[in-house]
Amino acid sequence: MSGQKTVWVTGASSGLGLHTAMELQKDGWRVIAGARSFEEGETDGMYRLKLDVTDEESIRRFCEKAAEIAPPDALVQCAGMLVLGSCEETGTEEFRRVIDTNYLGMVRVNRAVLPIMRAQGGGKIVMFSSINGLLGIPFQSAYTASKHAIEGYAECLMLELRDFGIQVMLVEPGDHRSGSDKYRPHAAAMNEASPYAEAYQSATAQIHHDETNGSDPNILGDKIARILDRKHIPFRKRIASADQHLAVYVHRFLGARINAAILRTYYIRRKKNT
Ligand SMILES: NC(=O)c1ccc[n+]([C@@H]2O[C@H](COP(=O)([O-])OP(=O)(O)OC[C@H]3O[C@@H](n4cnc5c(N)ncnc54)[C@H](OP(=O)(O)O)[C@@H]3O)[C@@H](O)[C@H]2O)c1
């Protein structure tokens, strides 16, 4: 179809990346989707290519093959993972894996795609942050740090790219019922002997409950598809339930002590007799 726009989507085999890719395709975009687990091929106008965002050579091959199909009018970066664990017991390698995938993965893919977008005179870059990019949640420190890094990086990127006609958007989702447990391992040291065991169990049960009962991923995908159709896209788009919007607002305007009291009460419920 002539005039059809093309979007490259990372992390499109599961969760919000998959739903966003499907909604974009429904909206008429040619979608070139990347993930490690893909069998390469095309179905109904969706092209699937292998992509590991932690591996420069894999990114180079993805970009080469994708550019042969069609250069990107837009890039949507969803690839991500988290490791659940206390700050003390999450290992350095576990921190490194999360930062390498979530933050450096985006940096690497942007570095590969930016020359193409500059040469064609513009484009749109969408990066998946999270509510965790705006506030800390107990036992998600590696993930929270990676999303805070993305928030700071995106501000710099947006300022630098304006002259090239490239727009940047951060998507800050609240809990959505789509993510796979496969990408949420527990840190190896988190067992019953951990000094954090009781608080950890309480917090991870709450986190699991909130995701299982989270918002509809198709609605998020549809919102992103609608925004990408506009000439000008916003720099930040929070897509979250009313209480998560409120949590961010409260976090910004109330002091650290009140915030800690609210977040600890929500996530860390101790048994009465301890
Ligand atoms: N779900 C939520 O409630 C929620 C809330 C806030 C933010 N987010 C953000 O939304 C994005 C998607 O999360 P999700 O929970 O919806 O999905 P998910 O089910 O956790 O899926 C993660 C995706 O990332 C891909 N991925 C992981 N490591 C990769 C690597 N090294 N290279 C390439 N792809 C990689 C996976 O594909 P392969 O294994 O096939 O490579 C998979 O497609 C993430 O950035 C996450 O932080 C999600």
Give pLDDT tens digits for 69-128.
999 999 999 999 999 999 999 999 999 999 999 999 999 999 999 999 999 999 999 999
Question: 179 in ligand 1 pocket by Cβ < 6 Å?
Answer: yes
Q: What distance in angstroms lies between residue 193's CA and the mean position of ligand 1's atoms?
A: 30
In this structure, which residue's CA is closest to atom 32 in ligand 1? 52
- What torsion, rounded to 10 degrees, do the Cα atoms 223, 60, 110, 29 define? -20
DSSP 102: I
Residue-level pLDDT at 269? 77
Contacting residues for 172 by C-beta, under 8 A, at least 6 apart? 129, 130, 131, 133, 134, 236, 237, 238, 239, 240
Q: How many helices (H) and strands (E) does the chain have?
A: 9, 8
Q: What's the pLDDT at 45? A: 83
User: What per-residue confidence (pLDDT) applies to 179?
Assistant: 86
Is the Cα dihedral 185, 97, 64, 222 positive or negative?
positive
133 lines ligand 1 (CB under 6 A): no
Q: What distance in angstroms lies between residue 254's CA and the mean position of ligand 1's atoms?
A: 31
The mean predicted confidence, pLDDT, of the chain is: 95
In the predicted structure, residue 272 carries a pLDDT above the cut 80? no
Q: Which residue in the block uniquely carries the two structure tokens 């070139």?
A: 32
Rounded Cα gap, residues 42 and 40, in angstroms: 7
What is the pTM for the complete model shown?
0.97
pLDDT reading at 270 higher than 70: no
In the reported structure, the alpha carbon of residue 258 is separated from the centroid of ligand 1 by a whole-number distance in angstroms of 32
End-to-end CA distance of the chain: 66
**Residue 87 in contact with residue 137, Cβ under 8 Å?**
no
Alpha carbons 146 and 155: distance in angstroms, whole number = 15
The per-residue pLDDT for 191 is: 93
pLDDT above 70 coverage of the chain, percent: 97
Task: For residue 61, give every residue at least 6 positions away whose Cβ sits within 8 Å of its Cβ, in sequence order, or none.
Answer: 50
By annotation, the residues acting in catalysis are 13, 129, 143, 147
- pLDDT value for 271: 61
Query: If you measure from the C-alpha of residue 78 to the centroid of ligand 1, how many angstroms do you get, rounded to a whole number?
Result: 6
User: What is the atom index within ligand 1 of the atom nearest the CA of 102?
Assistant: 45
Q: Does 178 have pLDDT greater than 60?
A: yes
Mean pLDDT confidence for 256-274: 81
Q: Percent of the chain at pLDDT above 90? A: 92
Distance CA 103, CA 132 (A): 13
Give pLDDT, residue 274: 43
Q: Report pLDDT for 2.
A: 58
Residue 231 CB partners (closer than 8 Å, separation 6+): none
Ligand 1 atom nearest 55 alpha carbon: 31
pLDDT of 172 reads 98
